[in-house]
Amino acid sequence: MIELLEAAVTSPWVYLALFGVALLDAFFPAVPGETMVITAGVFAVSGEPNLALVIVAAAAGAFCGDHISYQIGHSTGLARRLPATGRRRAAFDWAKAALDRRGGVLLVIARYIPGGRTAATLTMGACGYPRGRFAAYDALAVTSWALYSGLIGFLGGKAFEENKLLGVLFALGMAIALTVTIELVRWLLARRRKTAAPVSVTETTVPAPAEPALASAADH
């Protein structure tokens, strides 16, 4: 098994395969793009494949895939089909405003969240997020992702140079642990915001006791 895997990963065609898998992974989350990049990184310890080319191929494929996903979202015409007023229009306008303020950061973070990259790129396309800004932030997102995936694989390969299968398992374990950590932090932050919200409302809607005259003066 390991011989077949090594033959596939060290083939000159592996770079084209990495490009294609990373492209599909951008809008088909079930495609194991990250797993393939990590595996290639493990075998890159021996010099084949070339780690730099692995990272470039993965980043280029992901960049193209994200733009296809963006275009799919843009082509659905969601913004045009929504009524001028109403709850759905208000929700869409809110999402667009949030993306205008933090869209770039959200795009970079979403690349490390399972299914997040697809949701982010589709939504940004549907909301009409500026294509130039999308391309700039996406270049940062896919480059950091490809570097992370390739290097974590390379680290696994270095740790188990004599057993590439263990190197792959070790690297994938590290990637899973990091993903779980990110999800846990997101869950804790969301929970903290939910528990803090009622306190904030209470503080702003229920004033502290005060003398009538002082309260009146404060109102003015």
Give the model's confidence band at 103: pLDDT under 50 very low, under 70 low, under 90 confident, else very high.
Answer: confident
Which residues are CB-neighbours of 26 under 8 A, at least 6 positions away? 33, 61, 62, 64, 65, 66, 68, 69, 117, 118, 121
Average pLDDT for residues 98-116, to the nearest whole number?
Answer: 81
Higher pLDDT, 150 or 6: 150
The pLDDT-based confidence of 211 (bands split at 50, 70, 90) is very low
Question: Cα–Cα distances in Å, from 96 out to 99, 152, 169, 216?
Answer: 5, 35, 40, 40
Cα distance between residue 86 and residue 174, in whole Å: 46
pLDDT at site 15: 95
Query: Picking from 78-87, 98-107, 153-162, which range would have the lowest pLDDT averaged per residue?
Result: 78-87
Q: Give per-residue pLDDT as tens, 47-64.
A: 889 999 999 999 999 999
Q: Is pLDDT larger for residue 4 or for residue 110?
A: 110
> How many Cβ atoms sit within 10 Å of the Cβ of residue 216?
10
Cis peptide before 12 (omega within 30 of 0): no
Rounded to an integer, what distance in angstroms lies between the CA atom of residue 217 and that of residue 49? 75
Instruction: Please state, in angstroms and rounded to a whole number, the distance separating the CA atoms of residues 127 and 116.
Output: 16
Distance (Å, rounded) from C-alpha 64 to C-alpha 178? 25
Res. 170: pLDDT tops 50: yes
For the stretch 3-42, pLDDT in tens is: 777 777 878 899 999 999 999 998 888 888 899 999 999 9
Please give the average per-residue pLDDT across 153-171, as a whole number. Answer: 87
Rounded to an integer, what is the distance from CA 194 to the centroid of its chain? 23
Radius of gyration of the chain (CA): 23
**The pLDDT of residue 94 is above 70:** no
- Name the band, by pLDDT with cuts 50, 70 and 90, for residue 219: very low
pLDDT score, position 78: 65
